Amino acid sequence: MALPAELVLDRFLRVRDELRERVRDSRERRERDGGRPGRLRSRLLDGGMLWAAWLRAPRRVGAVLPSSVPLAAAMAAQVPAGPGLIVELGGGTGSITEGLLVAGIPAAGLVVVERDPLLARRLRQRFPDVQVVCGDACRLPELLAAQGIAGPVKAVVSSLPMLAMTPAQRARLMRGVGRVLEPGGTMVQYTYGIRCPVPARTLARARVHAQRAARVWRNVPPAFVWRFESGTAFAPRLEGTAAP
Ligand SMILES: C[S@@+](CC[C@H](N)C(=O)[O-])C[C@H]1O[C@@H](n2cnc3c(N)ncnc32)[C@H](O)[C@@H]1O
């Protein structure tokens, strides 16, 4: 049965007014928030930035989508509780950074290292209270020293694309991590591969214990979270180790 023309017009006008109201609300909300983009826009912007970074250097970036909230939560869950400095490597768009902050790690106790200058700028924008260092994580001790960060690090939380690194880069990274970690410190790393991202020989020489701590299906692609621990700082024994 056809609807009378006035009824159709009335519905059309009501829908139009409702849409106008929503647009007005969202504009007002943006103005109130100082022009900051809303959550959805922010996520799209981050996704676009990571994608652009991947196009610039696919092997260095190693992912086209930001990490999911469940992956960030799984990484944060592996960080030992209590005070101490946390260093995040390969911050990207800040999904893991956000997860660490949500888990209760204070912004003042977090340093994020990111090599891509545009992503580093975005991280500073998103987390003004977190110290963001733009540089190569394979030079971690030098990077931290240049920032005047001398204290030992309680945990290193890494999103670095380890599987895309050369053996020499991986060995250098692990040596550096070991040099800055306090004795008994923890390193947390996620990977898309099934196997441990650090070769067994490297782990054995360093007497580092590796544990697959979580599997996260709700991430694209699904990921595994690994935790590395040693009774003492694990760097010196990694000297000269070449990952196969
Ligand atoms: C897999 S992405 C991280 C994605 C991040 N979890 C997110 O949700 O946006 C890896 C990041 O590590 C950075 N990266 C790669 N090699 C690096 C290095 N040697 N030093 C510092 N950052 C590095 C890349 O620029 C990229 O932002």
Domains of the chain: 65-238 (3.40.50.150)
Whether the Cβ atoms of residue 45 and residue 126 lie closer than 8 Å to each other: no
What DSSP element (H or E) covers 133?
strand 131-134
Q: How much is the pTM?
A: 0.81
CA dist 169 and 95 (Å) reads: 24
For residue range 135-156, list pLDDT tens digits in order: 999 999 999 999 999 779 999 9
Instruction: Calculate the alpha carbon distances from 204 to 229, 237, 244 in Å.
Output: 12, 10, 13
Residue 232: what pLDDT?
56
pLDDT for position 34? 57
At 141, phi and psi to the nearest 5?
-60, -40
Q: Which residues contact 34 (CB under 8 A, 6 or more apart)?
A: none
Going by CA atoms, what residue is nearest to atom 27 of ligand 1? 92
Q: Which residues of the chain have pLDDT under 50?
A: 233, 236-244
Ligand 1 pocket, CB under 6 A: 50, 53, 60-63, 66-67, 89-90, 92-93, 95-96, 113-116, 119, 136-138, 159-161
What is the per-residue pLDDT for 18? 73
Q: What pLDDT, on the 0 to 100 scale, is given for residue 133? A: 97
Q: What pLDDT, on the 0 to 100 scale, is given for residue 24?
A: 74
Which of ligand 1's atoms lies nearest the C-alpha of 62? 1
